[in-house]
Structure 1
Amino acid sequence: MDNLKGKSILLLSPKFFNYEIEIVNALKVAGASVVWIDERPSNTFFTKAIIRLNKNFLKRKIKNYYNSVLKQISDKQKHFDFIFIISPETLTPTILTSIKTQYLNAKVILYMWDSFKNKGALELLPLVDRAISFDKNDAQQYDLSFRALFYIDAYKKQSIAFRYDLLFTGTAHSDRYNFVKRLVAKIPELNVKLFFYLSSKKLFWAKKLSDKEFKSIKLSDISFIPLNHKTTADLVHRSKIILDINHPNQVGLTMRTLETLGAQKKLITTNSDIVNYDFYNENNFLLIDRENPVMPNTFINSEYVPTESELLIKYSIHGWVCDVFQLNL
């Protein structure tokens, strides 16, 4: 696949568990040359917290940051075919207008892998040529294109012996921790592997003070060092069933859902929209109720039914690039 051969892309996205690196690599596989800019001026706990609270408090810092990095880029590169923006947190209409003025012939593409109510960015929509969301509700409400997330190559199916019956790895947000703990207590006969992550101890203590869901969570229950893709993929490959607990305010499928599909593992999820996807098979996907989760033994004990290769290609990162850039796979 080299449909982007000879094309140059300016990619702006926050750092997110190294997925930005995977996206850069996938774009290069498609033939493009890529320059990546971290969409945040800093990734310290303080900066992230202020951005989520109100990015206007960092208005000067954000402006100076973009002025600096864009000058460095413009000194080396005078042309881009695409400006590709992923779930921006600090980008303003003024800054984006300045970038567009600098690269007049570039097509601007926005992809949201978070819901607008969680990240904002609605103010950028009038300035982009193509806007895409992973959230069906957002896509319908704002008249955007829809495209689910993807799985990276590390999650392609491998023939490895099972070590775990059930696996959960993810960020400790909303009701996730307590829900998972209650669910696992109902199935003591299964060999379960759990991993909960937060980006810093400061965030943990802030949540302890402000979020009732964290009142019973101990510091030792949380890891502050994320798993890398190699380790996570190995855990997925060594597990029979993956557990996915989506954010209550989000209908878009999580990255874990697509990674489970790529690995061809069974999935238990709280996301009711799973039944509306073309890869859904009730033998492979179990929808559970957040208030009263039930896991039938028939689901746990049955084997995975292989997914069609066309669907596996579609939901790979390479299929995602093709959909976002409207290429032939």
Structure 2
Amino acid sequence: MLEFEGKTIIFGAPTTFGFSSVIKPELERVGLKVFDFSPVLDSKFKYKNIWQRIHNVYRKVFFKDYANKKKLQASEIEHLLMTSLMEVPKADFSFFIRPDLFPSRFIEEACKKSGLSVAYQWDGLDRYPKIYNYLKNFDRFFVFDKADITTATLSLTNFFIPDRNYSNTFRGEKAYFCGSYINKKRFSEVAAIAYALQPLNIPLNFLLVCDNKKLREEIEEESFTIIADSIIPYSSNLENVKNCTILVEVQNPVHEGLSFRVFEALNYNKKLITTNAAIKSYDFYDPANIFVWNGENSGDLESFLNTPMKAVSEKVKNKYGFDNWIKYVLDYGRYDSIDLPESK
């Protein structure tokens, strides 16, 4: 019998990177019937009639109101969400990742329709401060940065989705990085790690997403990068993860939460190079498997790469797998709690 057999869930998550379409089948796999509202976020806006289009042009020309179309789009998405929600019976759970992407009225009504309402903000709260207005709607609200832990929030990390068909055969040594261009400081850290790996004859697969033409031209001068102007689907990213031996993660400076890259390394038994020193406090950390880059320890990289990996216990590893993760999030069945550790 499946863990959640016969249970229902109202679900919504970012469609960026194809995350929602990866998570939905995992919810179904554990037995949940899923009412997925994520695709509505991608609804294409169409003017209702010619008069609405003319009125929008009028607002732009005479009132410099360039936000009017966005307001119309937001109103249409809210209407679609509320109309679809009316067709959903009362659910056992509602679960939203980045609930601030959804209209507050919709979130409020969705939570009323569920026995247990849960949210997870996988970015720092202050990065998207609108999220503070949503806290009151949820029975359980999770954050992944220790700085965001309050009496109104609970701790959580990201997770990995077990790949039951994966064979950990050697596929050639290669280092893989995938990330967005955030600022020059972060890019300089990526570049420093790449240049430290090159003398060690480690082939690089470094993908950087940047849609700014001027910045792209500057970045393309660096020989180690492949520039993408659009987001790489998560499923494609996982294929790249499987086909490397070393994962590189450069921390987003706005939070200390661990990225998905960390848990991909844990899942696929890859060596990890990261700039996030907070990782040293986690129960799966082992210096044989994880190298914390500080900008001054490049001389230690070769020794790290030549050191055999140490196995992480199945109990610790399974704690961060999706099956335990979702039971902890929904407070259902037997699970291991996922607490954020104290700093070492």
Question: Same-fold call, TM > 0.5?
Answer: yes
Distance verdict in 2 for CA 1:88–1:190, change over 3 Å: farther
Structure 1 residues 194 and 221 mapped into 2: Cα distance closer, same or farther (>3 Å)? same
* Structure 1 position 128 matched with structure 2 position 133: no
How big is each residue's C-alpha offset from its partner over 1:54-82, in whole Å with a ceiling of 9 and x where there is no partner? x998444323312223313423x222121
Q: What code does the residue aligned with 2:200 have?
A: E
1:17 is matched with 17
| Sequence identity (%) | 21
Deviation track 1:1-21 (CA, whole Å, cap 9, x = no partner) reads 733221111111120322212
Q: In the alignment, which of 167, 181, 197 is matched to residue 172 of structure 1? A: 181
Instruction: Give the unaligned 5+ runs of structure 1.
Output: 45-54, 209-213
Q: Verify: 1:250 aligned to 2:252, yes or no.
A: no
**1:69 alignment partner, one of 57, 81, 86:** 81
Is the contact made by 1:197 and 1:225 (CA closer than 8 Å) also made in structure 2? no
- Aligned equivalents of 1:69, 1:141: Cα separation in 2: 30
The question of whether the paired residues in 2 share the 8 Å contact of 1:243 and 1:267 is answered with yes
Paired AA for residue 72 in structure 1: S
In 2, Cα distance between equivalents of 1:204 and 1:155:
38
User: Is 1:204 equivalent to 2:186 in the alignment?
Assistant: no
Structure 2, gaps ≥5 residues long: 45-66, 336-344
Contact kept, 8 Å, 2:267 with 2:317, in 1: the verdict is: yes
Structure 1 156/124 Cα, relative in aligned 2: closer, same or farther at 3 Å? farther
Structure 1 residues 307 and 286, CA, compared in 2 at 3 Å: closer, same or farther?
A: same
Matched, 1:190 2:195: no
Aligned length: 306
Which contiguous aligned blocks of 4+ residues in structure 1 show a shift greater than 6 angstroms?
A: none
Q: TM-score, normalised by structure 1?
A: 0.82
Aligned in 2, Cα 1:40/1:293: closer, same or farther, shift over 3 Å? farther
Moved more, 163-172 or 230-239: 230-239
- Aligned residue among 271, 274, 278 for 2:283: 278
Q: Distance in 1 between matches of 2:14 and 2:90?
A: 22
Q: How big is the shift at 1:257?
A: 0.5
- Residues in 1 aligned to 2:37 and 2:29: alpha-carbon distance in whole angstroms: 19
CA contact (8 A) 1:13 1:87 kept: yes
Which one has the largest radius of gyration? Answer: 2
Describe the superposition over 1:144-196 as per-residue Cα deviations: whole angstroms up to 9, x where unpaired.
11111011223986322242342222223233333222222233232232332
What CA distance in whole angstroms lies between the structure 1 residues aligned with 2:288 and 2:168?
20
1:325 aligns with 2:330: yes
Paired letter, 2:78: Y
Q: Distance in 2 between matches of 1:133 and 1:239?
A: 30
